[in-house]
Amino acid sequence: MKDGKIVAAFTKNYFRYEEFIKDNIDFSGNKIPGVPNNTFTLMNDIYFRNGFYCSASYFGNAEIFLNDANTASAKPYHLLGARLGYNLFFKKMRLNFYVGAENLLNERYSLGNDINALGGRYYNAAPARNFFTGAAFSLFK
């Protein structure tokens, strides 16, 4: 192994309406919609001396309330992704070839919720398990 890094982040949120009355309905004390109680992210990158590399990421999200009344919510979800690649270096250029996958756990989740949506249409479908491949080049001075 040539180089690598691991990054982790945990976020704990405590956002509530202190005082909020709308159309004679009191939402005071309710959780603010669109904000999960907590999230956790873990990322790992490993670079090998022979030019190969591997990257993996995990993201976990707690339940998210979707309206001011806290009566509709999106379930927690867990996303896992990975990429394998190979870098070729020349004098002033790098070629990068890679393959990868997203949503390896094939979670059903909303990619951006519409908060307080009319008729309960809160969800925007996110892609199921999916795969990609690509190539990129970089020029150096």
pLDDT tens digits along 10-39 = 999 999 999 999 999 999 999 999 999 999
Can you give the pTM of this predicted structure? 0.86
User: Average pLDDT over the chain, rounded to whole?
Assistant: 95
- CB-based contacts of 88, cutoff 8 Å, min separation 6: 51, 94, 95, 96, 97
Reported as a single tens digit per residue, the pLDDT across 41-59 is 999 999 999 999 999 999 9
The reported pLDDT for the residue numbered 45 is 96
Structural domain total, the chain: 1
Label residue 1 by pLDDT band (50, 70, 90). Answer: low
| Containing structural domain, residue 89 | 3-139
